[in-house]
Amino acid sequence: MTDKTATRVALVTGASGGIGSSVVRRLAADGYALAVHYAGNKARAQDLVEEIAAGGGSAVEVGGDVADDAAMRALFGQVEQEFGRIDVVVNTAGIMPLGPIADYDLRTFDHVMRTNVRGTFVVSQLAARHVRPGGAIINFSTTVTRTLFPSYGPYVASKAAVEGMTMVLARELRGRDITVNTVAPGPTATALFLDGKDEQTVERLAHAAPLERLGRPEDIAETVAHLAGPARWINGQTIFVNGGLA
């Protein structure tokens, strides 16, 4: 078990995903103990835990639906029992079913809102109660809240809500020495982003930014690591990590 007085501990939700797993690896490289959250892919979370352990780090997998408040309360308790503290919560968990607003299935809409909005709210609420002074809460939005691509309407609606609640929470935690920010990636080469897109669409999006490439999960993880640790004067912000995409 990790030294409960010295090692900073981070909980990463959605850690079995492309960005989430890169965040886990990046924070592990900085010496964090990691709680690696999964919703459905336990095997991938276990592989990530084993990878960190093989590199000399400390990690444990934790599962549950981020929108289930009882499950998340138990999860936060499990992390504190294992490591003795929580310093950073990175909430990457989310879903992105696309479709035009005029034809969008309302059951799918409700699922997006439950996962992306309620899930972020539940995790943020618990993070506000458990994260120690000197810590950080980092939620995830998307650059599409600014680029407003067609077919992203429900996803944009959910992530605009995340940006708003995150900025409010930063102000509600006045005096606690806890930073609260949102990271908003641009097009990033993950399974979530690439799913359902043809090669022409991917190529077009890759050249949309001035740097003329898709983001890599490692690009996003680098920003998260900065916000999790040294960036103590960035608070209540949405950080666009998109290679200059307007």
Whether 131 contacts 88, CB under 8 Å: yes
> What pLDDT shows up at residue 12?
98
List strand residue ranges (DSSP E) for the chain, in order.
9-13, 33-38, 59-63, 88-91, 136-140, 179-185, 238-241
Q: What is the pLDDT of residues 180-230, one digit of tens each?
A: 999 999 988 777 677 767 788 778 877 888 888 888 999 999 999 999 999
Rounded Cα gap, residues 55 and 119, in angstroms? 31
Query: Domain map of the chain by residue range?
Result: 9-188+217-240
Residue 6 pLDDT > 80? no
> What pLDDT shows up at residue 209?
85
Q: What are the phi and psi torsion angles at 154 (to 5°)? A: -65, -40
> What pLDDT shows up at residue 5?
47
**Residue with structure tokens 């919703």?**
39
Radius of gyration in angstroms for the set of CA atoms belonging to the chain, rounded to a whole number: 17
Task: Return the active site residues.
Answer: 155
Rounded Cα gap, residues 52 and 168, in angstroms? 34
CATH (one of 3.40.50.720, 3.30.450.20, 3.40.50.300, 2.60.260.20) for 9-188+217-240: 3.40.50.720
Tell me the CA end-to-end span of the chain in Å, nearest whole number: 45
> What pLDDT shows up at residue 87?
98
Query: Average pLDDT, stretch 12-21?
Result: 94
Q: Which strand (E) or helix (H) includes residue 239?
A: strand 238-241
Neighbours of 219 (CB within 10 A): 20
Average pLDDT along the chain: 93
Neighbours of 74 (CB within 10 A): 13
